[in-house]
Structure 1
Amino acid sequence: MSETVRTDHVIDITDVVCPITFVKVKMALEDLEDGQNLRIHLNEGEPIQNVPRSLKDEGHKVLSVDRKDDGTYDLVVQKGGLSA
């Protein structure tokens, strides 16, 4: 389970819709140093389909994806050095 993955910051984007979901994630990552981990709480559907792919495209590493009982997800991503 991802509880063993250390996280440096947590954001909840279940109250926003695409494409604002990824904008909020990018803003949160800007506050982290390379190698730090961000836990993102997000909805099923477009967010869980698009956010992990967009993060990988920007050079970040998805460490875990956990589906919660309420249908939401917790995604842990490590900030990569390729982001601008």
Structure 2
Amino acid sequence: MLGGITIRRSRLDITIAILKIAASGAKKTQIVYGANLNSTIANKYLSRLEEKKLIEQKGNIFVTTDKGRSYKEMASELEIR
């Protein structure tokens, strides 16, 4: 919220945030806090990113895959602000 105005993030913004946080490995809690998500929403994103092979879970750690790194780089270049 910025001066009484709620700013919604796009799915792409949230996806990029998760991929950045998980780049060197992160627990779900780190992703939830780092990307400013609630647990339910984080679970949905993590499941979807795993399905797309952009992230993988190793024990209780989530790691961005090579495909995820490429996706993040391309998406970051395309971001319009």
TM-score tier after normalising by the smaller chain length: 0.3 to 0.5
TM-score normalised by the chain length of structure 1: 0.40
Q: Which has the higher strand share?
A: 1
- Select the structure of larger CA radius of gyration: 2
TM-score normalised by the chain length of structure 2: 0.41
Q: Which has the higher helix share?
A: 2
